Structure 1
Amino acid sequence: MNSLSADAQRLRELTLLRRVKDRIDREYAQPLDVEALARGVAMSSGHLSRRFRAEYGESPYQYLMTRRIERAMTLLRRGDLSVTDVCFEVGCSSLGTFSTRFTELVGMPPSVYRDRASDAPAGLPACISKQITRPIRNREAVLPVRN
């Protein structure tokens, strides 16, 4: 019976973590912080951060920034908005923080990404473009082999 209640508790907690993840996916452009996310599922911010990282491999803040950068990449590829406009459109309030995080995840500053995206082949389906341009954290990037 104790095992059953432990399993039920874990399932409940996973459901709450999924709720947080879904909220970040939906509301990435809104001002979100870990405290607000934790309040939404009746957890402490510390517990939410630890459990979220354990289940998804990154903190809620890192996940939020990844979603924002993914959306920013799409907007920058479109080419009709400035980097500053994109920054605020995706919910970042600091151009400096946005540029730093963008560079960390994508490997180049947003202005360089925007310029290179305009040189990309036309007609590439959006689903393929999104898949091959998905940001990855530097620790996940494959380093080139040097001879």
Structure 2
Amino acid sequence: MPGAVEESNRRLLRARDAMDRRFAEPLDVPTLARIAHVSEAHFIRTFRAAFGETPHRYLQRRRVERAMFLLRCTERSVTEICMDVGFSSLGTFSRVFRDVVGEPPSAHRRRGPLPPVPTCFAMAWARPATDRAVPEKRPERLRP
């Protein structure tokens, strides 16, 4: 019978797998916490402890990784790619992309198509670093 730690990890992996599969959908912490069968606060805390980043940051990075591929391998517009990977604002997409990759989407596209190597190698080589700062969404403070 699995222990409590193994069960917790299994639940977190279930939520992370959902983010990997459904990254283009509007996923939020309450939805992901329900998938993991834990409270929202516990989900954020344990996800960060297990994977080294918050669920929000992980989801943004996954969306940017997919956008990086689409920018270099398709002729679709930046706006189309922005919407296809799950962002609802071109401004937010451009800011997050620059924060994660270190250059704007248009500059990344100018690098040209990915080299003719197996996709897994190209994606691993082009994967953004997880230690780059991606600003977290902060709840708006109530004004008196």
Task: Judge same fold: TM > 0.5, yes or no.
Answer: yes
* TM-score interval, normalised by the smaller of the two chains: 0.7 to 0.9
Aligned-pair CA distance for 1:128 = 2.1
Amino acid at match of 1:129: A
Counterpart position of 1:14: 9
Counterpart position of 1:143: none
Give 1:41-120 correspondences, 5 Å limit: 41-118=36-113
TM-score (norm 1): 0.83
Aligned-pair CA distance for 1:138 = 5.0
TM-score (norm 2): 0.84
Q: How many residues align?
A: 133
Counterpart position of 1:29: 24
In 1, distance between residues paired with 2:30 and 2:64?
Answer: 21
Amino acid at match of 1:132: W
In structure 1, list runs of 5 or more residues that go unmatched.
141-147
In structure 2, list runs of 5 or more residues that go unmatched.
134-144
Counterpart position of 1:126: 119
Percent of aligned pairs sharing the same letter: 44
Select the structure of larger CA radius of gyration.
Answer: 1
> Is contact 1:29–1:91 with CA below 8 Å preserved after alignment?
yes
Change over 3 Å in CA distance of 1:30–1:61 after alignment to 2: same
> Is contact 1:104–1:138 with CA below 8 Å preserved after alignment?
no
In 1, distance between residues paired with 2:51 and 2:27?
Answer: 18
SS at match of 2:111: helix
Instruction: Select between 84-93 and 35-44 the one with higher mean Cα deviation.
Output: 35-44
